[in-house]
Amino acid sequence: METSYEEQIIPLSLEHPVWDRVFTVAPLVVIGTREPDGAFDLAPKHLATPLSWKNHFGFVCTPRHATYQNIKREGVFTVSYPRPTQMVLTSLTAVPREDDGSKPALALLPTFQARQIEGVFIEDAYLYFECELDRIIDGFDINSLIASRIIAAYAAADSLRQSDMDDADLLADAPLLAYINWGRFARIQDSFSFPFVSGFKR
């Protein structure tokens, strides 16, 4: 006897995060902040997203991290969207701090200065934001949502959409990096037009 579709769906216990039981796709960004001593910190984040159709950006962090504390104090931060070829360099930004709170591995990363705020970007990424803190919403268990307004943005020339170039060709030539939670990543190079229904409006 055939089982129904509903019988093939497995309930997940909420005693553990559901995100650990299946794969989901997310962007991977590197957040840049300024430390109390004036040095710059870089940290990878994957719970990151636009917060509106306009120029607002947010990501999830925790008050236990220096990224949260730096943004709360300074009120600004940078965002770099790395390419698939930068996976190893991006991983270096997650190196644990030394006993004195420093992250010496960051010295290995090629960076350049932001233009409107005190901050740095990683070189060779495809998209960059300079962000001004809008608000921090605490209380998502141990996590918080950091919401910001993008005050400056830059894109690599080879990743910029052009009216005379097919989007599929652009992505084939300049692939995107996707983080697959938990612990994997993918290179997005093949893409297809989304089948929007007639009359669809965002």
Tens-level pLDDT at each residue, the chain (202 residues): 677 888 889 999 999 999 999 999 999 999 999 999 999 999 999 999 999 999 999 999 999 999 999 999 999 999 999 999 999 888 888 888 777 777 777 888 899 999 999 999 999 999 999 999 999 999 999 999 999 999 999 999 999 999 889 999 999 999 999 999 888 999 999 999 999 898 888 7
**Is the residue at 96 inside a domain?**
yes
What is the structure's pLDDT at 198? 86
**Is the residue at 147 inside a domain?**
yes
Give the 3-state secondary structure of the chain.
CCCCCHHHCCCCCCCCCHHHCCCEEEECEEEEEECCCCCEEEEEECCEEECCCCCEEEEEECCCCHHHHHHHHHCEEEEEECCHHHHHHHHHCCCCCCCCCCCHHHHHCCEEECCCCCCEEECCCCEEEEEEEEEEEEEECCEEEEEEEEEEEEECHHHCCCCCCCHHHHHHHCCEEEEEECCEEEEECCCCCCCCCCCCCC
CATH of the domain at 89: 2.30.110.10
pTM value is 0.93
Rounded distance, CA 179 to CA 48, Å? Answer: 11
**Is the residue at 138 inside a domain?**
yes
The tokens for 6 are 């509903």
**Is the residue at 53 inside a domain?**
yes
What is the structure's pLDDT at 202? 77
What is the structure's pLDDT at 1? 66
**Is the residue at 10 inside a domain?**
no
**Is the residue at 7 inside a domain?**
no
What is the structure's pLDDT at 89? 87
What is the structure's pLDDT at 126? 97
**Is the residue at 148 inside a domain?**
yes
Q: How many domains does the chain have?
A: 1
Domain that holds residue 111: 22-159+166-188
Determine phi and psi for 175, rounding to 5 degrees: -60, 155
